[in-house]
């Protein structure tokens, strides 16, 4: 198989797998006071310190979760509830129109059941939220804003947001800023910093760690109301028995990914540029979505993730094209894996101004640490015939598979 869906999940790194299996064989609850519990607690706290160092945070800022979706829920619900409890007038939640469903569905729920006033921030044609857009939205009623959330890098088209500038706008009005950095962490520099985001969501399985573990980095002094109650673990923000093996493997994967990212970003960007160029040679009508490749063979961390290539194929249905490629051993996606199987156009592309037809004919190819030139060769060999067959099927009103 040729795997081109690393944004959905990427294979575990050998270093993380070794740590995971070693710790998994040990017995011990990190909340227990006996020797086995103390050993597990030591693993957790050393992992917390290592992860915090990669994120420019204090160890006490790191709250371990079960993954990105829980981290987003915890941040948005926790901040909204805490801020509104302090001032009932704080009902506004500002999020970009191109967020992952983990953010959009969470704020929709807060709007439907918790009295929140949800407002979507417009993006431009490449998916960028301009600081002036955020400033104008906050300025309409600064005292009423509970929280702002804009993802660090888009999970579909790879657009990297100007997070530091956006956070600075929010902070001028005293509003906490959260960012979903699940796609960005390990590919480009991500850190809390003195003037950066107040809360950052990250996930292990996107960087070569195991599925089922992540973290929410919460700046010291920021109050969150917990939505999971129980044993009071993780500063009473997120109760539950800690996944010691998962946490240790997450820290190991983060260490490798962040250490290698300066070189790896250039390697992946070169592969991505080759993919886009050669696919468009095979299918001249194909359109690249998101930021342009204005630095061939390099990477501009202010524009696009290095491993992301999101293309639309006019006249084709994305689902049909995906299945035709899958039959040839090429694995990719039509968008976020969490929305897979849902027959609707990408909300990201629609927010960027694309037509419904354009949005439905799109595929996302994403590269990772196991990607090689042979993967691009395999895609290039398969894409022309697949697109031709998908186009004929669309005209005939069939799937083509």
- Report whether pLDDT(299) > 60: no
pLDDT at 368 over 90: yes
Q: What is the pLDDT of residues 30-78, one digit of tens each?
A: 988 999 999 999 999 999 999 999 999 999 999 999 999 999 999 999 9
Distance (Å, whole) CA 279 – CA 138: 42
Q: How far is CA 205 from the centre of its chain?
A: 11
Residue ranges and CATH numbers for the domains of the chain are 2-8+261-396 (3.90.1150.10), 14-254 (3.40.640.10)
- Our CA dihedral for 302, 103, 205, 65, rounded to 10 degrees, sits at 120
Give the whole-angstrom CA distance, residue 75 versus residue 270: 35
Pick the catalytic residue: 258, 316, 332, 338? 338
Render pLDDT for 235-262 as a digit per residue (tens, 0 to 9).
Answer: 888 989 899 999 999 999 999 999 999 9
Count Cβ atoms within 10 A of the Cβ of residue 338 and give its class: 0-12 exposed, 13-18 middle, 19 or more buried. Answer: middle
* Max Cα-Cα span within the chain: 69
Among residues 156, 227, 130, 168, which one has the least CA distance to residue 8?
156
How would you classify the pairing of strands 145-149 and 330-331?
A: unpaired
- Phi and psi torsions of 237, nearest 5°: -85, -35
Measure the N-to-C terminal CA separation of the chain; round to a whole number of Å: 18
Do the beta carbons of residue 129 and residue 123 sit within 8 Å?
yes
**Predicted pLDDT of residue 303:** 85
User: Is 338 part of the annotated catalytic residue set?
Assistant: yes
pLDDT at 301 over 70: no
Asked if 325 contacts 400 with a C-beta cutoff of 8 angstroms, the reply is no
Spatial separation of the C-alpha atoms in residues 4 and 18, rounded to whole Å: 24
As a whole number, mean pLDDT of residues 100-123 equals 98
Predicted local distance difference test score (pLDDT) of residue 294: 63
* pLDDT one-digit tens code per residue, 372-381: 999 999 999 9
């Amino acid at each position: 198989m040729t795997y081109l869906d690393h944004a959905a999940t990427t294979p575990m790194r050998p270093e993380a797998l070794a740590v995971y299996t070693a710790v998994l064989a040990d017995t011990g609850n990190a909340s227990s006071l006996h020797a086995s519990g103390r050993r597990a607690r030591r693993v957790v706290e050393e992992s917390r310190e290592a992860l915090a160092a990669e994120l420019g945070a204090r160890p006490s800022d790191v709250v371990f979760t079960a993954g990105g979706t829980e981290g987003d829920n915890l941040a948005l619900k926790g901040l909204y509830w805490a801020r509104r409890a302090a001032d009932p007038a704080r009902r506004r939640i500002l999020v970009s129109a191109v967020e992952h469903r983990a953010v959009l569905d969470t704020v929709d729920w807060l709007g439907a059941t918790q009295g929140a006033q949800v407002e979507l921030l417009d993006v431009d044609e490449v998916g960028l939220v301009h600081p002036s857009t955020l400033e104008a939205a906050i300025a309409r009623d600064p005292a009423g804003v509970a929280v702002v959330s804009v993802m660090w890098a888009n999970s579909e088209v790879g657009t990297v947001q100007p997070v530091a500038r956006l956070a600075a706008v929010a902070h001028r009005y005293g509003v906490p800023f959260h960012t979903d950095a699940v796609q960005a962490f390990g590919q480009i520099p991500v850190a809390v910093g003195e003037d950066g985001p107040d809360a950052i969501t990250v996930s292990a399985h996107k960087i070569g760690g195991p599925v089922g573990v992540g973290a929410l980095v919460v700046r010291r002094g920021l109050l969150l109301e917990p939505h999971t109650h129980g044993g009071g673990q993780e500063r009473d923000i997120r109760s539950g028995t800690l996944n010691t093996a998962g946490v240790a493997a997450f820290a190991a994967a983060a260490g490798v990914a962040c250490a290698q990212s300066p070189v790896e970003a250039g390697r992946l960007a070169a592969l991505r540029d080759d993919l886009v160029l050669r696919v468009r040679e095979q299918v001249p009508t194909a359109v690249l979505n998101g930021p342009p490749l204005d630095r061939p063979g390099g990477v501009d961390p202010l524009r696009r993730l290095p491993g992301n290539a999101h293309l639309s194929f006019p006249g084709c249905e994305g689902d049909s094209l995906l299945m035709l490629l899958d039959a040839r051993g090429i694995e990719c996606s039509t968008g976020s894996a969490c929305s897979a199987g849902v027959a609707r156009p990408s909300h990201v592309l629609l927010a960027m101004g694309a037509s419904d037809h354009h949005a439905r004919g799109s595929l996302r190819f994403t590269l990772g640490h196991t990607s090689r030139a042979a993967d691009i060769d395999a895609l290039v060999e398969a894409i022309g015939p697949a697109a031709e067959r998908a186009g004929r099927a669309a005209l005939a009103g069939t799937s083509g598979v």
